[in-house]
Structure 1
Amino acid sequence: MATAIFGAGCFWGVEAFFERFEGITHTRVGYTGGHVENPTYEQVKTGTTGHAEAIRVEYDPEVITYGGLVNIFFEAHDPTTKNKQGIDVGHQYRSAIFYQDEAEKAIAEEKIQQWTNKGIFKRRIVTEVTPARDFYEAEEYHQKYAQKNGSFACGIG
């Protein structure tokens, strides 16, 4: 199995979206990209930790490619709003691809260009492509939130 990490706003809905696709074997939501070790949701939601709400996707590369995952990422959120998804506003809700090696970085940059060329979005894609750092799993009540609660209404915390 392989892993990929994405930030696409509120992680509840993004996790539920990714789980629908063949080849995704496991997901965990959490925090990455910041400067605070072992952050809590209460810290991250303030926007002061530098972390993004993120999802770590475990996948079978014989079933789905990294490029396929990046396509799902672009379908799962609006990559044209800087530090905002829906009613959630702040750097912790940024659109970001956290690459783990140069091959992933190249694929991410290529996919941004492809999605730009499609002309689907009316505004410029502002997704950050940044090196992966430590991924801190969110508290258990955030994991599989949509499955546990029957919804994933973000912006409530």
Structure 2
Amino acid sequence: MSRRSLSRLSLYAATIGALAVAAFAVAPSLAAEDAVIIPPPATDAHETGVQTAVLSGGCFWGVQGVFQHTAGVVSAVSGYSGGSKATAEYETVSTGTTGHAESVEIKYNPQKISYGKILQIFFSVVHDPTQLNRQGPDTGTQYRSAIFTTSDEQKNVADAYIGQLNAAKVYKKPIVTKVGALQAFYPAEGYHQDYLTLHPNQPYIAYNDIPKVENLKKIFAESYIEKPTLVSSTKATN
């Protein structure tokens, strides 16, 4: 069950807000998932022109937020992948019965950031790829770890990288991330877009997602940009 259902957001904030902020202030190292420093992929994609990567790693607010602060990313849009168009709606996806995963469609310039670097950030600071059908406080198949590939080359790179990381035992448990071809991506409702930037003090964001952006800045300093690439700004320029 989603802890972010809009019908429960106010209650959620009221009941855990003070505790979450207090815990974050006392022990920030406990916020979000700990980042893991991992090697880059031994095999990378050789792409030209703007490309698309679709990734699922728990709540799309944090995934989108991290990649909006990543250099070379042209746009990062929250949405749904894995199910049908008819069920690509937040409250329905939150039941965990649609086949959808909360996902982020990342359009990127491979001359500035490679597909392999995007996966390295995804596995290192965005989420814990060893958690099955959950991420942090969120449980259900809609929060699963998944890579939806848009080419055979992307699939080969993703499969090889997972094998590489498992062989190197960089995590205490095996990676459970599923890799499969993208069938469709459906953008989420407008109120989910740019959520981290628009609501940085919301308890869930402050406790779970802001630390991910901070880890990006610390571990991937060369890929970090201070000003996020927002959905609202990319729409304004189109």
Smaller-chain TM-score range?
Answer: over 0.9
- Structure 1: how far apart are the matches of 2:140 and 2:201? 22
- Residue 77 of structure 2 is aligned to residue 28 of structure 1: yes
Match of 1:91 in 2: 141
From 96, 113, 128, the equivalent of 1:64 is: 113
Which string of whole-angstrom CA distances, capped at 9 and with x for unpartnered residues, describes residues 100-141 of structure 1? Answer: 111110000111122223322100100000110111100001
Note the residue ranges of structure 2 that are not aligned, 5 or more in a row.
1-49, 206-238
How big is the shift at 1:38? 5.3
Q: Which has the higher strand share?
A: 1
Question: Which secondary structure state, in structure 2, belongs to the residue aligned with residue 55 of structure 1?
Answer: strand
In the TM superposition, what are the counterparts of 1:1-157 in structure 2 within 5 Å? Answer: 1-37=50-86, 39-75=88-124, 76-151=126-201, 153=204
Which string of whole-angstrom CA distances, capped at 9 and with x for unpartnered residues, describes residues 35-76 of structure 1? Answer: 353521000011011100000001001011111111111021
TM-score, length-normalised on structure 1?
0.93
Over aligned residues, Cα RMSD in angstroms?
1.4
Note the residue ranges of structure 1 that are not aligned, 5 or more in a row.
none
Contact 1:36-1:49 at 8 Å conserved across structures: no
- Structure 2: how far apart are the matches of 1:64 and 1:83? 29
Aligned length: 154
State which drifts further: 12-21 or 90-99: 12-21
Contact 1:34-1:49 at 8 Å conserved across structures: yes
State which drifts further: 64-73 or 121-130: 64-73
Amino acid corresponding to residue 146 of structure 1 in structure 2:
L
Larger radius of gyration between Structure 1 and Structure 2: 2
Contact 1:83-1:92 at 8 Å conserved across structures: yes
Q: Which has the higher helix share?
A: 2
Contact 1:145-1:151 at 8 Å conserved across structures: no
TM-score, length-normalised on structure 2?
0.62
Deviant stretches of 4+, over 4 Å = none
Question: Which secondary structure state, in structure 2, belongs to the residue aligned with residue 109 of structure 1?
Answer: helix
Instruction: Calculate percent identity across the aligned residue pairs.
Output: 43
